[in-house]
Amino acid sequence: MLGSLLLGASRLPLVRRTVSGVPLTRKVVDRFVAGETPQEAVEAIRGLAATGLTVTVDHLGEETRDSAAATRTARAYVTLLGALGGLGLGDRAEVSVKLSAVGQALGADGDKIALENARQICEAAGALGSTVTLDMEDHTTVDSTLETLRALREDFPSTGVAVQSYLFRTEADCRDLAYEGSRVRLVKGAYAEPASVAHRRKSEVDRAYVRCLRILMSGAGYPMVATHDDRLISITETLADRFARSRGDYEYQMLYGVRADKQQALAGAGHTVRVYIPYGDDWYGYFMRRLAERPANIAFFLRALGGK
């Protein structure tokens, strides 16, 4: 219930101004966001890469309503990828892109603009041996995102996509996407969705996650298992054994600032572990979804506000 309230509040301008204006909010944001500048993001990437982890980088922003802003976001990705290539980190890092940040929400031409901007990012990633994963947003954007994915994969077949287990449709989407070479990130979902399209109870979302995971692990694609849940990690290992997947045939993904000890333990056991690193000044929506996802994050925020 609290998570749903936070997700709903995250779209209210008054709440945004209030939360953003609290000085101590920055203390908590710094746990989940690797700074506001490309330089800060690169430093975080270098630090994680030095410990054996791989990363996917998100330039924060979404629902862009201005074509110039969408172009600037695409250029920011290209610039960041250039910096990573110059440091020899191209094989350790990919980028995650929200299509709404690069033009998807710009009316009738939005899909075309987003595709053009995403192509530029994919070209820059490909030039240094990296790739791109398309983040999934609320349910109204799923068909558009999957259509853009299909177009991008014609020239950039390694382009990945995220799918959300709480949506009723996702099991069918997993079946469609579980083909050779298809990179699919499975997440639970972190947007406020109506009961008509999504599971609402945690137990239902978890069960749907396992069903989707089984489809992906039994398929021919490359599952990217995005979870911090020990039980789901154990189920992943069971399914990997059942379907004869080696540790190079799938990977784990976890959020920057969440369960760093588990990230290191899995990497130390020979797994590929990719850390989702967000950076940028438009951190509010991302931050609120992280609070809504886990009660422990809310408690951390309240302790920070209390100066503890």
> Catalytic residue positions?
135, 185
Half-sphere exposure of residue 45: CA atoms within 13 angstroms, side-chain side: 28
Phi, psi torsion values for 110, nearest 5 degrees? -60, -45
DSSP state letter for 273:
E
Beta strands in the chain (DSSP E): 54-59, 93-97, 132-134, 160-164, 183-187, 222-226, 251-255, 273-279
Q: Which residues of 8-34 are buried (b: 16+ CB within 10 A; e: fewer)?
A: ebbeeeeeeeebeeeeebeebbeebbb
Helix axes 2-9, 295-305, angle to 10 degrees: 70
Measured at the CA of 279, the angle between CA 232 and CA 189, to 5 degrees, comes to: 30
d(CA 22, CA 35) in angstroms, rounded, equals: 17
